[in-house]
Structure 1
Amino acid sequence: MRKGKVYLIGAGPGDADLITVRGKELLEKAECIVYDRLINRELLKYVPAGAEKIYCGKWSGFHLMKQEDIQEALVDRAEKGKVVVRLKGGDPSIFGRVGEEAQLCAEKGIAFEMVPGISSGTAAPAYAGIPLTHRDYSSSVAFVTGHACEGSRNEAPGVQWKELGRGVDTLVIYMGVKNLPDIQEKLLVGGKESTTPVAFIQQGTTAAQKTYTTTLAEAVRTAEEVQLTSPAVIVVGEVVKLHDQLSWFENQENRSDKMPFVHVI
């Protein structure tokens, strides 16, 4: 029996056109694909009709498949000689748990390859006209999870909001909608100015993209007013001021050329 291989692929931030060339090539060769809720379903058209499709969607508070089961499914199919694609939203190495999946492959002697994708943390701000660095506003940026991870193998320190607030010019927060009140409080207590600009970028890079700007002091109130829901990227920093001037995607008619982004169900 030929040996299988697992490809851990980043699907990009939502716009199906942002899949990498390498990612698309591997989708076309897949014999089994294990895919997340946050991928654009348009990408599934590249997968051969006879391939096994395993959906492992996750919502806040609900996992269709446990992470351990996902990892076992990858190894099981690869041990049977299949070309296995694990398709993740964004970039798999940024809050995508690709390390855990790769570790199990390594432990079981399964060949694997990590295929980077475009992260929503860089793409969504770019589509909103918010460069994460700018000579006049920001010389440093940090990517932070706003969602505490449960069940980790090792004790990892929590996000150091105080140090980040004082030491980093631009913060990009993933999965932060639910915990926004706590994030706001910790940044303010840590010394971040209440007038610091904040942007919420919802459904980034898709036809449904919306960007809301506010200040750190008003962030929670604004999120409640616009009924902010995930997936959304939160940007905190002076670079948010550039949104009004540089918002190229949301202000263009060719935005209508993009297919509406529908989560895989």
Structure 2
Amino acid sequence: MTGPLVVNTQDGTCWTRRGARRNGEDLYAPEGVCDCPPYVMATLAELAEHGIAGSTDVLPVPIGQPEQHGRRARIAELIGEVKPASDGLLEQLAESVRDRREHDHPTWEDLYCLNLVSFMGERMGTVLRRLLDAEARAERYRIAWGMARTRAVSTGGAADRYAARARDAQEVLQRMLFTVIAGQLALHEANRERQELRARVAELEAERHSTNEALTEAVEALAANRDRLAESADVQLPVPAAGVPVTAREIVRNVLLLHYAGTPNPALVVDTLLRNAWAEEQAAQAAAAEGGER
């Protein structure tokens, strides 16, 4: 807090520093207000809009008010404990002033005027008391009006700040909503791709089963006609040694060699086909594994 301790505005209100906002801006409240909420306090800039008559860093000294308060105190002490004048008494005093002004004044001693002056003088204490009370009420009303005006200005500023915060919160919620929608779309697309990959894996598994069945039939046919096919074919099939198991890959290669026996260099053709088929199978298995992880 770097602002002055006391600020006097041109309407005669004395403002004292009570606190500060988060950004360090000082907050002021009228001197006579003991408990003032922060959201209705005024800043130095808001007080400047109403006109600053003076400021200080010492105890409050409202401009022009000490002399007025001292004069009122002296008058109250002089008139003593009297009640304020009633409306009926003020009307009587007004009539006395009128009668004194309008009656015919003699050239000799004017006893009528003297009686009227004496009557009004005896009752002037009550009139002064009513005047002091009226001035005190007017001062309280003026302070209350200043507080209400400051409260209205501060409330308007608070409403603007809350509206700005609400707009910021709405923008944040909109961004969050867009993020959620994008995530839902991405999830839907991932689920679709996963279903497609699962369908592809099912197709590959069905194809593998079909291939296994075809291989089984080919192996059976090869076992039944090995001797006849070996004698009639130009290709010499390798004969496994006794007790050495024959793998499925070797069986497939032998079948393909028999199928491509009439082509030039059948061994190269069969090996190329087997490498391509092996590469496709590895790619399908990798795609299936990636789909399962998703």
Larger helix percent: 2
More strand by share: 1
Please tell me the TM-score bracket, short chain as reference. Answer: under 0.3
Larger RCO (CA under 8 A, 6+ residues apart): 1
Q: TM-score normalized by structure 2?
A: 0.19
